[in-house]
Amino acid sequence: MFTGIVTDIGEIRQLERRGDLHARIAASYDMGGVDLGASIACDGVCLTVVETGADWFAVDISAETVSKTNIGDWAVGGRINLERALRVGDELGGHIVSGHVDGTAEVVATRPEGESTRVTFRAPAALARFIASKGSVALNGTSLTVNEVEGCDFGVNFIPHTQQVTTWGAVKAGDRVNLEIDTLARYVARLAEAG
């Protein structure tokens, strides 16, 4: 379980196909405190640590996960948002995020808005119905508030702080991002279908 509050920006150091995809990711976490088997959200995808080094950790990623996320777009030297799993007593500053990505959304436009950047995303139709104005969404592992929704498109404002402490400062039209819809929205929609 995660909060969508990014705690580090990792750098992809190595990608290797071994049946599954094996990735080595540099991080500033104290690796002495990262156990094998620990979960780390990598651009919002909950992955299991299988190896650690002085300033890196490694994960194995199944073909299924690659097919449902933007991991197929990763390249050595790329930067990704990281968050370690919640521990009892941690502050819940964003919203409940599982790290189980529902699909990808595409960045269709960016524009300055004051000191912030307004980004318009396009979600797959099957997921768009779960996205509501002023609701929560996790994009590349970041807990965000939706400003407006129009069909499959929705807008999010990125304040300067978020752009500085995440990878969102480099966002551009055409980027594919990992999308996890809000768990509460999923259950409300399911209840409405059953009723």
Per cent of the chain over pLDDT 70 is 95
How far is 181 from 144, CA to CA, in rounded Å?
A: 11
Q: What is the 3-state secondary structure (H, E, C) of the chain?
A: CECCCCCEEEEEEEEEEECEEEEEEECCCCHHHCCCCCEEEECCEEEEEEEECCCEEEEEECHHHHHHCCHHHCCCCCEEEEEECCCCCCCCCCCCECCCCCEEEEEEEEEEECCEEEEEEECCHHHHCCCCCCCEEEECCEEEECCEEECCEEEEEECHHHHHHCHHHHCCCCCEEEEEECHHHHHHHHHHHHC
Sequence ranges of the chain with CATH classification 2.40.30.20: 8-84, 103-194
In this predicted model, what pLDDT tens digit does every residue of 122-137 receive, in sequence order? Answer: 999 999 999 999 999 9
CATH, domain range 8-84: 2.40.30.20
Model pTM? 0.93
Confidence category of residue 195, pLDDT binned at 50, 70, 90: low
pLDDT for 37? 97
Q: Does residue 91 have a pLDDT over 90?
A: no
Pick the CATH number of 103-194 from 3.10.520.10, 2.40.170.20, 2.40.30.20, 3.90.1170.50: 2.40.30.20
How far is 51 from 14, CA to CA, in rounded Å?
A: 13
How far is 20 from 134, CA to CA, in rounded Å?
A: 38
